[in-house]
A and B are shown apart, each in its own frame.
Chain A
Amino acid sequence: MAQIAFSNLRKSYGKTEVIHGVDTHINDGELIVIVGPSGCGKSTLLRMVAGLETVTSGEIRIDGRVVNDLEPRERDIAMVFQNYALYPHMSVFDNMAYGLKIAKVPQAEIRERVAVAAKMLELEPFLERKPRQLSGGQRQRVAMGRAIVRKPAVFLFDEPLSNLDAKLRVQMRVEIKTLQRRLGVTSLYVTHDQVEAMTLADRIIVMNGGVAEQIGTPLAVYEKPATTFVGGFIGSPPMNFLSVERLQGSGLAASFGEAAPTLAKTVGVRPEHLSFCGEGQAAWSGELVIVEALGAETLAHVRLDDGEVIIVRLDGGRTAPVGESRVHVTCEADKLHFFGTDEKRID
């Protein structure tokens, strides 16, 4: 159990800075998901916490103790790697026990702790096997078991599910969440999958280009994205972005009054907040390009008059007005998000 604090954390490789100052405080027992596109510095941030990467400037504190210069083993952390990093020549038992053996934990206690973890992860039948004799999901569990037996203050996960198939990923996601709740260990979890982020996190850190663009609960991030990047990254299908001028020319502007902030440049609206309507109430008009019926939901792609394509999300049962060459789209005024010229949210 531990709190973690970053203060103005930076990382450079040579002259290129890849983490541009991250500040945050993580509470005891929280599961924080770091999400962002490839190359944004998620792994680098996590590896700095692990002690596998040096800190260029700023501080990392675990339970108040500055750990910048400590070896990984002195930080009381455990890490689950993307490719599991199991020792190929050791049995499942030995893989889990290795860290404890090094820490000179007595034999009996090692056996006990491994047994408990194996039970929790349903690995008991495999303890004598080598990693190559296990399926991907089982290897994943061994990697988690290796982290659990150490009873660390912090769990670090670097895209632990990215090598599993879609179905198993959903299942393991639930297991990780349940396990983390049960053990109550502060966790940092890196992923580029926003669904994983939304479902797992107590709080999300959305990173982009080495900057933490927003830190907040999944719903807060979803409902009040701090930047256009966050709006576009979190949510599937992504938020639609249009220029404010288009809105002011539309029927929506009338009902919306002059509420649009003067500095706003872009307006964002979630696909599920859009709906089809008659020509009279239309905020936007255009032609229907494609309708994707996904079962639970239907996505209608509409090309607006200026060529911009927006996505309208309808409930699965409803069909889009197919065949109509021209469709009209509207939305409730309070569902609009405004962003300024600096891409930041304006409330």
Chain B
Amino acid sequence: MSGMVEKRGIGTWLTHLSLIAGIAAICFPIYVAFVASTVTQPEIARPPMPLLPGSHFLENYGTALSQGINSPVWLMLMNSSIMALGIAIGKIAISILSAYAIVYFRFPFRMVFFWLIFLTLMLPVEVRIVPTYEVAAGFGMLNSYSGLILPLIASATATFLFRQFFLTVPDELIEAARVDGAGPIRFFIDILLPMSRTNIAALFVILFIYGWNQYLWPLLITTKPEMNTIVMGIKQMFPSGDDVAEWPVIMATALMAMLPPVAVVVFMQGLFVKGLVDTEK
């Protein structure tokens, strides 16, 4: 008996030890970045690199937020937020509606449309980037939020996920709604949408981060500094040629760029766990 407890004790210790080691391995670079964002440029340039936070936290973050290097970080954060939100919300809205149409309505070439949507899985932005740019430019969407958002908004993955979920909704429920007098739109808003909310929350997190991390597309479609997004902005902070890199400011920017996705994950986590615990069907 006591042997078992002891063994379990060791097992717990080992588990925790390996978990802590893993977390440390992930967190150390972030910590170093944080340290770098609180000291001055000369301190970083002179080896050994400091491992304890310095006293220039407010100064560095203040500089980054208000001035940045090319454009102020607050502006880039805002641009990124608008783009990521637009992409996430837009993708969800479009894909849930197309899944609804494909699952519940019988229209000509329904399966053709489904497979067409499905096929676009094979065409991510990077593959179709030149023609997409051409079209976006033709619509005058360069240097605009719509240019950042719209070309990325169609999503075969999300459509497919919602389709699979809708297929699991029992037919009886739809029939009950019909008998209750709910037409297609009411059924969608009153019943299907609330039932999909955990799926929507999960997708929102994934798609928000997808949108936030976009690099190539914003690089192409925006030329004015005031339309820069944070991810491409960080890259552009690196000096070209022999200029000195403002490492404390760049690191402060990098850390701030992490915060919104983290906030979204933390905020949505409650919904996830709830969704996993009570399956409502």
Contacts and interface: CB of A to CB of B under 8 A. Distances in A.
B242 interface: no
B6 interface: no
Given A88-B281, A132-B280, A102 B181 contact: yes
Contacts of A86: 176
B172 A81 contact: yes
A84 B175 CA distance: 11
B172 A98 contact: no
Main secondary structure on A side of the interface with B? loop
> Which among B179, B182, B191, B281 has the highest number of chain A CB atoms within 10 Å?
B179
A114 interface: no
B280 A81 contact: no
B128 to A, nearest CB: 39
A130 interface: yes
A73 B179 contact: yes
A89 B179 contact: no
A320 B175 CA distance: 52
A50 interface: yes
A145 B179 CA distance: 14
Given A77-B179, A99-B180, A89 B194 contact: yes
B178 A72 contact: yes
Interface in A125-163: 130, 132, 146, 150
A256 interface: no
B175 A87 contact: no
B173 to A, nearest CB: 5
A78 B179 contact: yes
Contacts of A87: 173, 176-177, 190-191
Given A73-B181, A89-B280, A81 B176 contact: yes
Contacts of A146: 176, 180
Nearest to A71: B178
A85 B195 contact: no
> Which among A72, A78, A86 has the highest number of chain B CB atoms within 10 Å?
A72
Interface string A67-97: 0000111000111011111111100000000
A263 interface: no
A89 B195 contact: yes
Nearest to B195: A89
Nearest to B197: A89
Contact of A85 (B170, B182, B186, B190): B170
A105 B160 CA distance: 38
B280 A72 contact: no
Contacts of B126: none
A98 B190 CA distance: 9
Contacts of B194: 89
Contact of A103 (B175, B181, B278, B280): B181
B173 A85 contact: yes
Nearest to B169: A88
A66 interface: no
Interface in B32-88: none
Nearest to A143: B176
A102 B186 contact: yes
A52 interface: yes
Contact of B172 (A78, A82, A89): A82
A206 B143 CA distance: 73
A81 B185 CA distance: 23
Given A102-B181, A102-B186, A103-B181, A85 B176 contact: yes
A318 to B, nearest CB: 48
A85 B172 CA distance: 6
B172 A132 contact: no
Contacts of B186: 102
A39 to B, nearest CB: 18
Interface in A102-132: 102-103, 130, 132
Nearest to B182: A102
A52 B180 contact: no
A86 B195 CA distance: 12
A73 B190 contact: no
Interface string B182-225: 10001000110011010000000000000000000000000000
B181 A99 contact: yes
A335 to B, nearest CB: 44
B178 A130 contact: no
> Which among A79, A103, A146 has the highest number of chain B CB atoms within 10 Å?
A79
Contacts of A78: 179
Contacts of B180: 73, 98-99, 102, 146, 150
Interface string B142-162: 000000000000000000000
Contacts of A51: 178-179
A99 B186 CA distance: 11
B35 to A, nearest CB: 48
A52 B175 contact: yes
16 contacts: A51-B179, A52-B175, A52-B179, A72-B181, A73-B178, A78-B179, A79-B179, A85-B170, A85-B172, A86-B176, A88-B281, A89-B191, A98-B190, A99-B180, A103-B181, A132-B278
Pairs of residues from A and B, 8 with the lowest C-beta to C-beta distance, nearest first: A73-B181, A85-B176, A99-B180, A85-B172, A88-B280, A102-B181, A89-B194, A72-B179
Given A77-B179, A87-B173, A99-B180, 8 more contacts: A50-B179, A52-B175, A73-B179, A85-B172, A88-B195, A89-B197, A99-B179, A146-B176
